[in-house]
Amino acid sequence: MMITAIILQTGGGMGNLFLIPAMLLVFYLFMIRPQMKKQKNEKRFQSEIKKGTKIITTSGIHGKIVDLTDDACVIETGAGKIKFERSAISMELSKKYLKTTPKK
Residue 35 lies in a domain: yes
What's the CATH number where 58 sits?
Answer: 2.30.30.30
pLDDT tens profile 33-56: 999 998 898 888 888 888 988 888
Give pLDDT, residue 94. Answer: 72
- Flag whether 16 is in a domain: no
> What is d(CA 65, CA 46) in angstroms, rounded to the nearest whole number?
12
Instruction: Look at residue 56 and tell me if it is in a domain.
Output: yes
Q: Please, which pLDDT band fits residue 58 given cuts at 50, 70 and 90?
A: confident
Question: Taking the complete model, does pTM exceed 0.95, yes or no?
Answer: no
Query: Is there a domain that residue 15 lies in?
Result: no
In a domain, 13, yes or no: no
3-state helix, strand, coil in the chain (%, to 5): 55, 25, 20
Q: How many domains does the chain have?
A: 1
10 has pLDDT over 60: no
* Domain region containing 28: 22-100
What pLDDT, in 10s, does the model give residues 21-33? Answer: 889 999 999 999 9
Asked whether residue 40 is domain-assigned, the answer is yes
For residue 11, being part of any structural domain is answered with: no
